[in-house]
Structure 1
Amino acid sequence: MQIKISARHGHLSADHQKHIHDKAEKLLHYFDRISMIEVTVDVPEHGLKKVEFLVNAEHKHDLVAHESNADLFTALDLALDKIKQQIHKYKEKIQDHRRDASLSDATAVKK
């Protein structure tokens, strides 16, 4: 898995980049079939910090989450919560799809 971190309109310190990398890496605990995570941070001198997550999962499925806040780490945590919800929903969709197919096959055999 690959993690890309980029900054717009500013610079991220090494500590900030490591913190973002560590948080993004934890997404693998929720879904291990993630191929790439791109984190883009918009850091203007004044105003809201914006964080965007792009997660590429298996079967070319892309998940996107945006969040902005005055504090960078708050925006990061809020965006992570959004992407975790999307991963959870995607994972349930995959599992339910497989389960429904096997149940319909089993009922067709019984008839």
Structure 2
Amino acid sequence: MNVQITGHHLEITPAIRDYLTGKIERVVSHFDHVIAVNAILSVEKLKQKAEVTVHLSGKDVHVEAVEEDLYAAMDSLVDKLDRQVQKYKQKVQDHHRGEKISGVIAGE
């Protein structure tokens, strides 16, 4: 898995990089087919914005979060990302189960 973290009007410190990487790895551990992760952290006056795009096999998941604190934005982002990845994983599993069930019904 390739993780790329970029900052707009913000210097990415090792602490920020470690914090975000640890959070993303926790989410990505739920799903094996992750190709790459691109994260953009930006600061605009009083808004701290965190965006991430996760490239999965067959789909890209994009999530954004805006908060007053950068760490709160990253936490909110990871929660949203976790829900999206779980939803996609469930969809893929249900899709494959449906094929097996229809094959069994057609064979009877």
TM normalised by structure 1 equals 0.92
Q: Does 1:31 align with 2:55?
A: no
Deviation at 1:28, TM superposition (A): 2.4
Distance in 1, matches of 2:2 and 2:12, equals: 19
Structure 2 unmatched ranges of 5 or more: none
Equivalent residue number for residue 98 of structure 2: 100
How many residues are paired up? 108
Deviation at 1:12, TM superposition (A): 2.1
Which whole-Å deviations, capped at 9, do the CAs of 1:44-98 have from their partners, x for residues lacking one? 4x31100001000012x10010000011111001111111111011001100011
- SS of 2:12's equivalent? coil
Deviation at 1:43, TM superposition (A): 2.2
Equivalent residue number for residue 53 of structure 1: 52
Amino acid in the other structure paired with 1:18: D
Q: Does 1:41 align with 2:41?
A: yes
Deviation at 1:10, TM superposition (A): 1.9
> Is contact 1:11–1:43 with CA below 8 Å preserved after alignment?
no
Structure 1 unmatched ranges of 5 or more: none
Equivalent residue number for residue 74 of structure 2: 76
RMSD: 1.0
Equivalent residue number for residue 65 of structure 2: 67
TM normalised by structure 2 equals 0.94
